[in-house]
Amino acid sequence: MQAADDIAERRNLNREWVRKAIGQAHYLSQVAKYIQPPPVGTSKNWQVYRSRFIDATRIRAGVKFWQDNRETLARAEAETGVPAEIIVGVIGVETIYGQQMGNFRVIDALATLAFDFPAKHPRAKERSQFFINELEQFLSLSHRTHIDPLELRGSYAGAMGMPQFMPSSWVKYAIDFDGDSKIDLFNSPADVIGSVANYFKAFSWQRGMPTHYPVSFDANTLDLDALLAPDILPTFSVTSFGSKGAVLEGPALQHIGPLALVELQNGDASPRFVAGTENFYAITRYNWSSYYAMAVIELGQEVTASMNK
């Protein structure tokens, strides 16, 4: 209730309305379970991860979504520079084009993670504050748009709609792209398409730039530790990339801008490596994972290939 009073004061909301909304939130033990990181020692496996998001069902749904929204996707690409392929990839990975938008009450998920975030999580205090902020954004958004905060449903983390925007992302990046004077990320494909494109534009998507290039290694000069040190943050020029043993070919040699060596582990098998650009990094701002970014990219590619058959 103290948090409710603080939110009401900061947002100039009715104190009793906020208290009533938060007071009706339920603790969800499964949400606390899902938010935990994988056990220490769990190996990452790109092929397994990829198989979860790129299959015949998603590809077929992606083709239909693209066909149904061809003009809107083209308009979003023209206005923002974000390829339709990437927009389609994101919506497919997130919710299979609206088929799986989550069944948790958003207020329950956010309240659970705001007030009862698992203490054994290595970043519990920081994450709890993040979800308190998201709860505040959610209540403010609900009040402003006259939506019952007890009705909306989403993911276990409180993400909503076809693109799975957190409340703060909805507030900052969601746009009315169908011109009906309201923003609806649950039922308006146009608003979803425009909002995803607008999100990437806000995170400095660069028109015409590839997301990544193939890379191989020169064993005689390879300094893998140095190449992996910045993780997925683009840091190296083409020249410095090459000087550390990363071999690029063709168009990659003319790339302007920094690159990152992206490692996708494959369990006990050899990892996959690519040279990630600033646009690859932009996709990871949607979900902080190189595996996620590559799944988005490759689902978009698979849908495109299927469209062109």
Query: From the CA atom positions of the chain, what is the Rg in Å?
Result: 21
Q: Are the CB atoms for 303 and 85 separated by under 8 Å?
A: yes
Residues 130 and 183 in one domain: yes
pLDDT value for 235: 97
Asked if the structure places residue 91 within a domain, the reply is no
Asked if the structure places residue 234 within a domain, the reply is yes
Give the number of C-alpha atoms closer than 13 A to the C-alpha of residue 9, restricted to the C-beta side: 6
Residues 136 and 167 in one domain: yes
Q: What angle do CA 272, 77, 262 make, to 5 degrees?
A: 15
Residues 177 and 241 in one domain: no
pLDDT value for 123: 87
Asked if the structure places residue 284 within a domain, the reply is no
The single-letter DSSP state of residue 86 is H
Residues 153 and 266 in one domain: no
Asked if the structure places residue 218 within a domain, the reply is yes
How, if at all, do strands 153-154 and 104-105 pair?
Answer: antiparallel
Question: Cβ neighbours of residue 225 under 8 Å, at least 6 residues apart?
Answer: none
| CATH at residue 18 | 1.10.8.350
What is the DSSP code string of 159-182? -BTTTTB-HHHHHHH----SSSSS
Pick out the chain residues at pLDDT < 70: none
pLDDT value for 213: 98
Question: Exposed, middle or buried, 192 (CB in 10 Å: 0-12/13-18/19+)?
Answer: buried
| Domain boundary, last residue among 141, 176, 202 | 202
The CA distance from 138 to 20, in Å, is 14
Catalytic residue among 9, 77, 85, 94: 94
Residues 30 and 121 in one domain: yes
| Domain boundary, last residue among 170, 202, 234 | 202
Q: Are the CB atoms for 283 and 300 separated by under 8 Å?
A: no
Residues 174 and 105 in one domain: yes
Total number of domains in the chain? 2
Tens of pLDDT, residue by residue over 53-102, are 999 999 999 999 999 999 999 999 999 999 999 999 999 999 999 999 99
The CA distance from 18 to 78, in Å, is 41
Domain that holds residue 160: 2-40+101-202
Amino acid at 171: V
Residues 114 and 252 in one domain: no
Among 277, 296, 176, 299, which residue's Cα sits nearest to residue 232?
Answer: 277
Asked if the structure places residue 95 within a domain, the reply is no
Asked if the structure places residue 123 within a domain, the reply is yes
| Domain boundary, last residue among 181, 202, 223 | 202
Residues 12 and 156 in one domain: yes
Residues 138 and 255 in one domain: no
Asked if the structure places residue 82 within a domain, the reply is no
Residues 139 and 196 in one domain: yes
Token representation of residue 2? 């103290």
Residues 34 and 123 in one domain: yes
Residues 129 and 194 in one domain: yes
Among 73, 105, 68, 70, which residue's Cα sits nearest to residue 86?
Answer: 73
Q: Is 94 a catalytic residue?
A: yes
Q: How many CB atoms lie within 10 A of CB 182?
A: 10
Asked if the structure places residue 133 within a domain, the reply is yes
